[in-house]
Structure 1
Amino acid sequence: MIRHLVLFKLNDGVKRDEPRVVAGVQAFEALPGVIPELESWECAWNITDRPIAYDFAINSAVADTEALKRYIEHPAHQEAAALWREFATWVIADYEI
């Protein structure tokens, strides 16, 4: 099993309630029903406000590296990530569990 973690930081001046951000969140929330490789999926806004904190997180799992590749290349994932490129940066970590 592979854990796939992503932490997003909104660009300066971008607010959570902007329509494009709301659309980005909705696109990620829809992925579990669209991408069969996802064994588990959580995404949510960070509830703490600290200078080093990221704003939004995804915590997901897939069966193996091939499933991770299919997830990353899936058109729905690509479309959701493209939305976020407009207003955020992110870091990822993938590790075996």
Structure 2
Amino acid sequence: MIRHLVLFKLNDGVERDDPRVKEGVEAFRALEGKIEEIRFWELGWNLSDRPIAYDFAINSGFEDADALRRYVEHPAHQAGVGLWKEFATWVIADYAY
């Protein structure tokens, strides 16, 4: 299994209630059940107020590297990425477990 972690940082001046952010969250929330490669899917807003904390996270699981690649290339995933590019940056980590 491959764990795929993504941590998002909203750009300066962008707040959670921004309509673009709400649309981006819903786009990623809708991926579960839409992309068959997803084996585990959770996402949510960070609760920490520490300065080094990111704002939003996705924690997901895939059978193998090929399944993760198909997910990353899936049009629905790419559409969500396109939305998030407008208002955030992110880091990822993919590891076997």
When the two structures are superposed, what TM-score results if normalisation uses the length of structure 2? 0.99
Q: Which residue of 2 aligns with 1:81?
A: 81
Across the aligned residues of Structure 1 and Structure 2, the Cα RMSD in angstroms comes to: 0.4
Deviation, structure 1 residue 95: 0.2
Q: Which residue of 2 aligns with 1:71?
A: 71
CA distance in 2, matches of 1:50, 1:81: 26
Helix, strand or coil for the counterpart of 1:86? coil
Q: Where do 5+ consecutive residues of structure 2 fail to align? A: none
CA distance in 1, matches of 2:51, 2:16: 17
Q: Deviations over 1:52-92 (max 9, x none)?
A: 00000000000000000000000000000110000000000
CA distance in 1, matches of 2:34, 2:86: 23
Q: Which residue of 1 aligns with 2:61?
A: 61
Q: Where do 5+ consecutive residues of structure 1 fail to align? A: none
2:3 corresponds to 1:36? no
Helix, strand or coil for the counterpart of 2:94? strand
Question: 4+ residue runs of structure 1 moved beyond 6 angstroms?
Answer: none
Helix, strand or coil for the counterpart of 1:9? strand
Helix, strand or coil for the counterpart of 1:35? coil
When the two structures are superposed, what TM-score results if normalisation uses the length of structure 1? 0.99
